[in-house]
Amino acid sequence: MPYVTRYLDDSITVNAPAKLNLFLHITGRRPNGYHELESLFAFTKQGDKIHIKQSDLPGFRVEGLFAKHLKGLDPKENLVLKAATILAEYAARPLDVTICLEKNLPVASGIGGGSADAAATLLALDAFWGLDCNKNFLESLALQLGADVPACLYNVPLYVTGIGECMAPADLPKQYGVVLINPGVALSTPAVFKAYRAQAKQFDAPMGRVLPKDSFRFIEFLKAKTHNSLLAASKTLCPEIVAVLSLLKQDKQALYVQMSGSGATCFALYNTQKEADSAARRIRALMPSWWVMADTLSL
């Protein structure tokens, strides 16, 4: 579970780190239109943050680098408010808190920012109100908010199937460094899935949970046996992805390069955070307009 920090004034902060799909295969489609996936989720350490404190009047504000990108959003569509509302309804209590979303991750970028924020809100309010909801119940609320939200309750590597609701622990061989790049183009997930349906000829065959334990073999497995099924569709909507992937692949120290989710954020894995830090510095110098983050994947 993500780290919940409680301060002396009883306010609470919960981290909402970025989600990466180390691979993402599409194995089918449900009658309700949702796609069945087989994916390996991993999480960074840094990301957005949710801060909650007591207040007579309910309040919501957004701070941080990407706050302005949420300005035009209808509050009813905001996943943080939706999460807070459904938990308050369940607990039959007024929404007597101020919620601050620290938006440090780019929006509509394939790294689950909105899903992570919603999951962190559920966990923060559960702790703040002392509800002590059980995991299955929180997962069912999370799934109502979005397919990726249940996994974001955990923030540890997960082998994910169904539309995102079937999760099994997945061990990564080591703590990889990672560089994330977003070229500054927001991509709508439904639009990417629509483009995928127009292009794709067949679904991927399920592989099963077969993850090598040794790092060399794990990376070889990712390279040889996995892909992101949405990549071709995302590239047609955002051609900048080609340049991002190509720059990441030029780095000899990068172990594995892929696009996350429906894009446009792409990432590279490194043996250490130190290698990731220096790669991020080089990339920022070359492409100052891109968002570049270096971090470590959680184990």
Q: Return binding residues for ATP.
A: 106-116
Among candidate residues 41, 277, 294, the one with its CA nearest the CA of residue 172: 41
Q: In this chain, which stretch among 33-41, 116-124, 211-219, 222-230 interacts with ligand C5P, using CB under 6 A? A: 33-41
DSSP-based helix, strand, coil % in the chain, nearest 5: 35, 30, 35
Binding to ligand C5P, residues 79-98 (CB under 6 A): none
Q: In this chain, which stretch among 172-180, 187-195, 215-223, 231-239 interacts with ligand C5P, using CB under 6 A? A: 187-195
Both tokens of 113, joined, read 């920012």
Q: Does 23 help bind ligand C5P (rule: CB under 6 A)?
A: no
Count the site residues for ligand C5P by CB under 6 A.
Answer: 11
Whole-angstrom Cα distance, residue 139 to residue 136?
A: 5
To the query of whether residue 45 is one of the catalytic residues in this protein, the response is: no
Is the Cβ–Cβ distance between 45 and 276 less than 8 Å? no
Q: Does 37 help bind ligand C5P (rule: CB under 6 A)?
A: yes
Please report, for residues 42, 115, 284, the alpha-carbon distance to residue 105 in angstroms, rounded to integers and kept in the order given.
16, 12, 16
Pick between residue 151 and residue 269 the one whose CB is nearest to ligand C5P: 151
Q: Does 24 help bind ligand C5P (rule: CB under 6 A)?
A: no
Pick between residue 146 and residue 157 the one whose CB is nearest to ligand C5P: 146
Q: Does 148 help bind ligand C5P (rule: CB under 6 A)?
A: yes
The binder of ligand C5P chosen from 130, 190, 208, 288 (CB under 6 A): 190
The binder of ligand C5P chosen from 99, 127, 142, 147 (CB under 6 A): 147
The binder of ligand C5P chosen from 164, 177, 261, 263 (CB under 6 A): 164
Binding-site members are 106-116
Q: Which residues contact 252 (CB under 8 A, 6 or more apart)?
A: none
Please report, for residues 51, 100, 161, 271, 273, the alpha-carbon distance to residue 61 in angstroms, rounded to integers and kept in the order given.
10, 5, 34, 38, 32
Q: Does 31 help bind ligand C5P (rule: CB under 6 A)?
A: no
Whole-angstrom Cα distance, residue 118 to residue 142?
A: 8
Q: Out of 48, 148, 204, 251, pick the active-site residue.
A: 148
Q: Out of 19, 82, 103, 235, pick the active-site residue.
A: 19
Pick between residue 13 and residue 229 the one whose CB is nearest to ligand C5P: 229
Whole-angstrom Cα distance, residue 73 to residue 87?
A: 21
Least distance in angstroms from the C-beta of 26 to ligand C5P: 8
Both tokens of 180, joined, read 């994330």
Given its phi and psi angles, is residue 214 left (phi above 0), alpha (psi -120 to 50 degrees) or beta? beta
Whole-angstrom Cα distance, residue 69 to residue 107?
A: 7
Least distance in angstroms from the C-beta of 89 to ligand C5P: 19
Q: In this chain, which stretch among 31-39, 100-108, 214-222, 278-286 interacts with ligand C5P, using CB under 6 A? A: 31-39
Amino acid, res. 130? G
Query: What DSSP state is assigned to residue 32?
Result: T
SS3 28: strand
Half-sphere exposure for 290 (CA within 13 Å, toward CB): 27
Q: Does 38 help bind ligand C5P (rule: CB under 6 A)?
A: no
Q: Does 139 help bind ligand C5P (rule: CB under 6 A)?
A: no
To the query of whether residue 194 is one of the catalytic residues in this protein, the response is: no
**Which residues are identified as catalytic?**
19, 148
- What residue ranges bind ligand C5P (CB under 6 A)? 34-35, 37, 146-148, 163-164, 189-190, 193
